[in-house]
């Protein structure tokens, strides 16, 4: 289990991490999501003891990473942004070194390394010098390194970078399979990856944690009950009849062409049957517009600018109000 | 620590540096040995050691240039930080690996007195005493080089600075007789060092007031010392420069004196620079 309390990191005058707190429970895959420069790598480097924090605390299984580094680091396998491989070693030499350094006993080490090399698919290059391996293979050697000694917590900084699509699928499956015995904490800026494998997503922006929940909840919280409706008829009559449905909060007309109106309706409850009741055969299309993780991500990470300048986009109003209140809620939770 | 030690040692022999270092040291040793011992029939290995010291001084950067800087350049230091090994264990492991590489040519040199003894009488105590002192000298140079490597993340820069430092260490003793011995010059130089210290402090803490206070205290202290105890400054420059010269310390051993102060000196230099290396590596996490 990892516990991060009010982490702050300053580089001179620049504050990279501005008070992040979260808890990571055992046996789940956590995704750390954020645009470039949001403070993901800095946070991960602090969590693994590569960097010292300006303020705050990191507890790994109850051991403070600064006070009891040895005990804490024994529980961690870390793959930094750039795979930390030695170019003049072969993968097997490299993994043996890491195993010895982690204190894996000799008898176990050989079979364990064999197993890990098979899992990560590097057993066919195990006797080649790492400098002769491609980027994807180096990445996988780096990943294998994080698994040596089977530490309880595996922290991966952008593990999929540099892999081809087939490898991405393989590594994704591998990470999913790790869940049984390990806690995985991975960062990424690729959303599909995170929504695919993570049980829990934390979105970080500008050094702050702006949201953390399961991917499903995140997208549900965001869109609420939102319906996209395409219907034949005149705009005015459609809007007025929609207004009569109880529970409708907002109606945004997106387009009105040749008597076909496209509108997005947000409401407190499921209003699909009411809509069918009113428009019946003139309905061309109804779909619930759940936001993808991508939209959520963009909304959250653009928070700073958008909260300040009141948005004047015509179709985004409902989202914005929903979203700012969510953020406030989120921040309150953080403070608690 | 053993894992780091084994890894470093392996890496010296996985690439050219280890072999190159051993080859160059042995080449110089061999050339001087053949001149002194086979041409001039000397039996004390000290002659060879004394002359070939320049070789050790010049090739030390081959071992030290990448020892810390290389890790940083390749970002493998992040791996080392995340492993359950303390920074001091890492640094000591690396240092021991360098010592082991240096011990290879020194092991070969240990055979020299045995070979010489087949042709005449050899004072073994003197010979092995000299080799021991010489090994400590090389070990001190390696510690200095390792510290320089910890200051930069560029191996080339590290190599060049180490090389310059080694040259200063080697040639400093030759300058002593040319340095002015009077108190005033020593005072001026020391005062300038005080200012330099202030600049360094400012560069590190970015605080005018603090740097100014440090400089003022230094300058006042030096001035007071100059006014009340002028004799302190006489010959100070020469002593200072002589103190840097790691290589001078071996000379007593070559003449048959087992100089305990020299051993203490070497051990102090080694511990100081290993300690400074640990601090420099540790400091990186706080930047």
Q: Is A77 helix (H, G, I), strand (E, B) or coil?
A: strand
Q: Mean pLDDT throughout B239-260?
A: 80
Mean pLDDT score across all residues of chain A: 81
Inter-residue contact B63 to B102 (CB < 8 Å): yes
pTM of the predicted model, to two decimals? 0.80
For A298, the enclosing helix (H) or strand (E) is: helix A293-301
Query: In chain B, which residues have their Cβ closer than 8 Å to the Cβ of A70?
Result: 84-86
Burial of A150 (0-12, 13-18, 19+ CB in 10 A): middle
For chain B, say whether A190 makes contact (Cβ under 8 Å). Answer: no
B70 with B196, same domain: the answer is: no
B76 with B187, same domain: the answer is: no
Full domain range(s) for residue B202: 183-234
The reported pLDDT for the residue numbered A320 is 40
DSSP B190: H
Are A93 and B82 in contact (CB < 8 Å)? no
In a domain, B239, yes or no: no
Q: Which residues pair with A265 in a beta bridge?
A: A227, A251
The class that CATH gives domain A2-213 is alpha beta
Q: Mean pLDDT throughout B186-210?
A: 84
Q: Mean pLDDT throughout A35-54?
A: 88
Query: In chain B, which residues have their Cβ closer than 8 Å to the Cβ of A82?
Result: 75
Q: Mean pLDDT throughout A157-163?
A: 84
Look-up of token digits 């429970």? A25
Interface ipTM: 0.83
Q: Could you report the per-residue pLDDT of B88-132, keeping only the tens digit for each?
A: 999 999 999 999 999 999 999 999 989 888 888 888 888 999 999
Mean pLDDT score across all residues of chain B: 88
B168 with B226, same domain: the answer is: no
- Rounded to the nearest angstrom, the minimum Cα separation between B121 and chain A is 47
B30 with B68, same domain: the answer is: yes
Q: Domain ranges for chain A, please list them.
A: 2-213, 214-336
Residue B264 banded pLDDT, cuts 50, 70, 90: very high
The reported pLDDT for the residue numbered A100 is 92
Q: How far apart are CA B246 and CA B237, in angstroms?
A: 16
Query: In chain A, which residues have their Cβ closer than 8 Å to the Cβ of B10?
Result: 89, 93
Q: Which residue of A has its CA nearest to B80?
A: A50
The reported pLDDT for the residue numbered A317 is 40
Residue A132 banded pLDDT, cuts 50, 70, 90: very high
Residue B286 banded pLDDT, cuts 50, 70, 90: confident
B84 with B166, same domain: the answer is: yes
For chain B, say whether A55 makes contact (Cβ under 8 Å). Answer: no
Q: How far apart are CA A198 and CA A214, in angstroms?
A: 8
B145 with B51, same domain: the answer is: yes
- Smallest Cβ distance to A80: which of B14, B78, B84? B78
The reported pLDDT for the residue numbered B271 is 96
Of the residues B193, B216, B234, which one is the last residue of a structural domain? B234
In a domain, B45, yes or no: yes
For chain A, say whether B79 makes contact (Cβ under 8 Å). Answer: yes
Inter-residue contact B72 to B287 (CB < 8 Å): no
B21 with B147, same domain: the answer is: yes
B230 with B271, same domain: the answer is: no
Q: Which residue of A has its CA nearest to B15?
A: A88
Q: Which residues pair with A251 in a beta bridge?
A: A265
Give the DSSP per-residue string, A131-190.
GGS-HHHHHHHHHHHHHTT--SEEEEESTTTT--HHHHHHHHHHHHHHTTT-EEEEEES-
Domain count, chain B: 2
Q: How far apart are CA A162 and CA A140, in angstroms?
A: 10
B29 with B94, same domain: the answer is: yes
CB under 8 Å, gap of 24 or more: what pairs does B221-227 form?
Answer: B222/B187, B222/B190, B222/B191, B222/B194, B223/B191, B226/B183, B226/B187
Are B82 and A103 in contact (CB < 8 Å)? no
Residue A263 banded pLDDT, cuts 50, 70, 90: confident
For chain A, say whether B39 makes contact (Cβ under 8 Å). Answer: no
Q: Could you report the per-residue pLDDT of B36-70, keeping only the tens digit for each?
A: 888 887 778 888 888 888 888 889 999 999 899 99
Query: In chain B, which residues have their Cβ closer than 8 Å to the Cβ of A151?
Result: none
Task: Report the sign of the C-alpha dihedral through residues A293, A295, A301, A306, in that order.
Answer: negative
For A16, the enclosing helix (H) or strand (E) is: strand A14-24
| Position B152 pLDDT exceeds 60 | yes
The reported pLDDT for the residue numbered A312 is 41
For chain A, say whether B75 makes contact (Cβ under 8 Å). Answer: yes
The reported pLDDT for the residue numbered B229 is 81
Q: Which residue of B has its CA nearest to A72?
A: B84
Residues sharing a CB contact under 8 Å with residue B169, sequence separation 6 or more, in sequence order: B57, B141, B144, B244, B245, B246, B247
For chain B, say whether A63 makes contact (Cβ under 8 Å). Answer: no
Least confident range of A203-217, A246-260, B213-227, B267-281: A246-260
Are A85 and B285 in contact (CB < 8 Å)? no
CA dihedral A36, A40, A45, A46 (to 10 degrees): 140
Superfamily of domain A214-336: ACT domain (3.30.70.260)
């Amino acid at each position: 289990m990892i516990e991060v309390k009010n982490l702050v990191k300053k580089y001179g005058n620049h504050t990279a991490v501005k008070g992040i707190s979260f808890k990571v429970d055992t046996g789940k895959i956590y995704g750390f999501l954020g645009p470039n420069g949001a403070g993901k790598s800095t946070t991960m480097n602090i969590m693994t003891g590569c960097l010292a924090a300006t303020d705050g605390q990191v507890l790994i299984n109850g051991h403070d990473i600064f006070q009891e580094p040895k005990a804490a680091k024994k529980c961690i396998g870390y793959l930094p942004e750039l795979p930390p491989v030695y170019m003049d070693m072969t993968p097997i030499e490299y993994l043996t070194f890491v195993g010895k350094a982690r204190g894996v006993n000799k008898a176990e080490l050989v079979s364990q390394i064999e197993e890990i090399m098979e899992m990560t698919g590097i057993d066919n290059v195990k006797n080649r010098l790492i400098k002769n391996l491609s980027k994807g293979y180096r990445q996988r050697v780096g990943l294998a390194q994080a698994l040596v000694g089977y530490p309880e917590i595996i922290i991966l900084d952008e593990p999929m970078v540099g892999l081809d699509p087939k490898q991405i699928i393989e590594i994704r499956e591998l990470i999913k399979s790790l869940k049984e015995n390990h806690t995985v904490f991975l960062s990424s800026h690729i959303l599909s990856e995170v929504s695919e494998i993570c049980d829990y997503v934390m979105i970080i922006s500008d050094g702050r944690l702006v949201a953390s929940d399961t991917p499903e909840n995140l997208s549900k919280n965001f869109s609420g009950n939102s319906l996209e409706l395409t219907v034949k008829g005149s705009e005015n009559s459609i809007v007025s009849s929609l207004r009569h449905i109880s529970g409708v909060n907002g109606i945004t007309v997106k387009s009105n062409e040749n008597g076909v109106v496209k509108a997005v309706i947000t409401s407190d409850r499921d209003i699909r049957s009411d809509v069918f009741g009113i428009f019946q055969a003139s309905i061309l299309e109804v779909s619930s517009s759940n936001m993808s993780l991508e939209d959520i991500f963009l909304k959250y990470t653009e928070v700073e600018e958008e909260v300040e300048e009141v948005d004047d986009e015509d179709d985004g109003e409902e989202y914005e109000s929903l979203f700012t209140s969510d953020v406030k809620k989120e921040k309150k939770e953080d403070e608690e | 620590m053993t894992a780091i030690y084994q890894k470093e040692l392996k890496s010296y022999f996985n690439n050219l540096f280890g072999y190159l270092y051993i080859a160059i040291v042995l080449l110089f040793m061999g050339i001087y040995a053949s001149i002194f011992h086979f041409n001039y029939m000397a039996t004390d290995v000290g002659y060879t050691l004394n002359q070939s010291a320049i070789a050790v001084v010049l090739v030390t950067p081959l071992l030290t240039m990448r020892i810390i800087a290389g890790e940083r350049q390749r970002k493998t230091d992040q791996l080392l930080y995340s492993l359950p090994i303390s920074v001091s264990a890492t640094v000591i492991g690396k240092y021991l690996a360098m010592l082991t590489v240096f011990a290879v040519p020194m092991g070969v040199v240990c055979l020299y007195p045995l070979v010489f003894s087949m042709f005449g009488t050899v004072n073994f105590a003197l010979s092995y005493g000299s080799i021991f002192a010489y090994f400590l000298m090389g070990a001190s140079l390696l510690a200095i080089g390792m510290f320089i490597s910890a200051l930069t993340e560029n191996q080339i820069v590290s190599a060049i600075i180490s090389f310059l430092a080694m040259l200063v260490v080697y040639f400093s003793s030759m300058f002593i007789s040319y340095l002015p011995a009077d108190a005033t010059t020593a005072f001026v130089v020391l005062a300038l060092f005080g200012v330099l210290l202030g600049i360094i402090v400012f560069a590190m803490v970015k605080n005018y007031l603090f740097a100014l206070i440090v400089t003022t205290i230094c300058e006042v202290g030096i001035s007071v010392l100059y006014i009340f105890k002028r004799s302190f400054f006489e010959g100070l420059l020469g002593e200072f420069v002589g103190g840097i010269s790691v290589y001078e310390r071996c000379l007593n051993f070559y003449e048959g004196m087992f100089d305990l102060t020299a051993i203490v000196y070497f051990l102090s230099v080694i511990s100081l620079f290993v300690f400074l290396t640990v601090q420099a590596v540790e400091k990186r996490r706080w930047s």
